[in-house]
Chains A and B, each alone.
Chain A
Amino acid sequence: AQSVAQPEDQVNVAEGNPLTVKCTYSVSGNPYLFWYVQYPNRGLQFLLKYITGDNLVKGSYGFEAEFNKSQTSFHLKKPSALVSDSALYFCAVRDGAGTYKYIFGTGTRLKVLA
């Protein structure tokens, strides 16, 4: 069965420092991986996705993610965090069986400290 794990409930980072939000996955077949961000009482905003190709994927707002097949990971990164990056981040994987169902992680709250 497909699954996504976000091992950290919260990540704290100082403004200007690099940030990493971790995600590991389990899926049959080729993984289709996504990152979304959610601000309070709002819907989810798409950040980036990995379908195929380069292992380093660049997305919105300066975020990028590194796909690592051997470690089944898809960690979200940003070289220099902003206070405005503080939000809830979700990793998701698409069902590889063609049903177009998506499995979401439990979310990681990122807090960037000024």
Chain B
Amino acid sequence: DGGITQSPKYLFRKEGQNVTLSCEQNLNHDAMYWYRQDPGQGLRLIYYSQIVNDFQKGDIAEGYSVSREKKESFPLTVTSAQKNPTAFYLCASRQSGDTQYFGPGTRLTVL
């Protein structure tokens, strides 16, 4: 899991509530990513950021938002518009080459 931390490890959301997942890295990596993992579906890209103050939508961005105000931080907000948010969320960062390094994940459950 290297120098990438995600918090909290477990998160519970009520219907209609927005929640924010934290991702912090001390690897001095420029690029950061958010993925969603569901059983049998592998990892799907939500948002990614190549540099501070810039980010792009991934394949399943609807119902999510991000910010990248600092190089080391890339928080993900799961909004009430995301109708099926229960999943395991993984944050990753990438060095100047091609290898991504992943955090330990946050498991989000809707009550």
- Taking beta carbons and an 8 Å cutoff, which residues of A are in contact with B? 9, 32, 34, 36, 41-46, 49, 51, 90, 92, 94, 99-102, 104-107
Residues of A near B42 (CB, < 8 A) are: 90, 104-107
Counting CB contacts under 8 A, is B90 at the interface? yes
Cβ-defined partner of A41 (8 Å) among B40, B43, B44, B105: B105
Give complex CA distance A45, B98 in Å. 14
B104 within 8 Å of A by Cβ?
yes
Quote the shortest CB–CB distance from A99 to chain B (angstroms).
8
Complex CA distance for A42 and B49, rounded to whole angstroms: 23
Determine the main DSSP class of B at the interface with A: strand
B53 an interface residue at 8 Å Cβ cutoff? no
Could you say which interface size class chain B belongs to?
20 to 34
Report the separation of the CA atoms of residues A9 and B94 in the bound assembly, to the nearest whole angstrom.
28
B45 touching A42 by the CB < 8 A rule? no
Binding site for A on B (CB under 8 A): 1, 4, 6, 31, 33, 35, 40-45, 48, 50, 56, 58, 88, 90, 92, 94, 98-105, 107
